[in-house]
Amino acid sequence: MKEKSKVMDKEAIDKALERIAHEIIEHFEDLDDIAVIGIKNRGAHLAQRLALKIGRITKKNPPVGALDITLYRDDLTQVAEQPVVHATEIDFTIEGRNIVLVDDVLFTGRTIRCALDALIDFGRPGCIQLAVLVDRGHRELPIKADYVGKNVPTSADELVEVRLAETDGKDEVVLCQKTS
């Protein structure tokens, strides 16, 4: 894999999350009912940051959860290495709540479909909205994000890598070229 260009730096990521936080606040009339749930691993870290920003702006801290979707994947036999199953951490009821689901990159939409299945196994939320840091296109399912940090048009042989301080030591989004 070869790095082609940096799409977002630390500041751009922070600004995008700040804007998404404001958009979420504007959208929901009652902030007491919202919860932010990130898809592990990087989506969960982004969810934490987003919730902090919402809390700082509104003085109301929404509950934050982390969702592991490994057991819901429909492509386990196709991936070269089976993913490690991590625990889902949602210690509040999602029944009737307005959920903001967070992930780092929106691509085919299959991850989000799995996440919707997984979430609904925890109860019946009032609504689920989707926030992503990067939308790179190439959807294979009818799924659309409600909040997008940055649209990054890509070709099929490119990859978008989101690196976060929590997992990778620094914040950046990089466009990479697949090498055979």
Copy the structure tokens of residue 13: 């990521």
Q: Does residue 85 touch other proteins according to CB under 8 A?
A: yes
Residue 74: CB minimum distance to other proteins, A: 9
Output 95 or 140, the one with its CB closest to other proteins.
95
Between CA 167 and CA 58 the distance in angstroms is: 28
Map the footprint of other proteins across residues 111-170, applying CB under 8 A. 117-118, 121-123
Output 86 or 139, the one with its CB closest to other proteins.
86
The stretch among 6-14, 80-88, 101-109, 128-136 that binds other proteins (CB under 8 A) is 80-88
Map the footprint of other proteins across residues 32-51, applying CB under 8 A. 41
Q: Which residues pair with 99 in a beta bridge?
A: 35, 128
Q: Does residue 96 touch other proteins according to CB under 8 A?
A: no
Residue 8: CB minimum distance to other proteins, A: 23
Contact 18, 49 (CB under 8 A): no
The stretch among 1-9, 76-84, 100-108, 139-147 that binds other proteins (CB under 8 A) is 76-84
What number of residues does the chain have? 180
Output 71 or 127, the one with its CB closest to other proteins.
71
Question: Please, what is the angle between helix 42-58 and helix 10-27, to 10°?
Answer: 60
Output 61 or 93, the one with its CB closest to other proteins.
93
Burial of 104 (0-12, 13-18, 19+ CB in 10 A): buried
Q: Which residues contact 57 (CB under 8 A, 6 or more apart)?
A: 21, 22, 25
Q: Does residue 110 touch other proteins according to CB under 8 A?
A: no
Between CA 122 and CA 87 the distance in angstroms is: 14
Which residues of this protein are in contact with other proteins, per CB under 8 A?
41, 68, 70-72, 76-77, 81-89, 117-118, 121-123
